[in-house]
Amino acid sequence: MGTEIERKFLVVNDLWRKEASAGTHYLQGYFTTNDTCSIRVRIAGDSADLNIKSATLGIFRAEYNYPIPVKDAKEMIQDLCIHPLIEKIRYFVPHNKNIWEVDVFSGENDGLVVAEIELDSVEQSFTKPDWVGKEVSDDPRYYNVCLVEHPYKDW
Active site residues: 30
d(CA 49, CA 68): 5
Distances (CA, A) of 150 to 109, 136, 155: 9, 16, 8
Please choose, from the candidates 9, 7, 4, 6, the residue with its C-alpha nearest in 3D space to the C-alpha of residue 114: 9
Is the CB of residue 150 less than 8 Å from the CB of residue 131? no
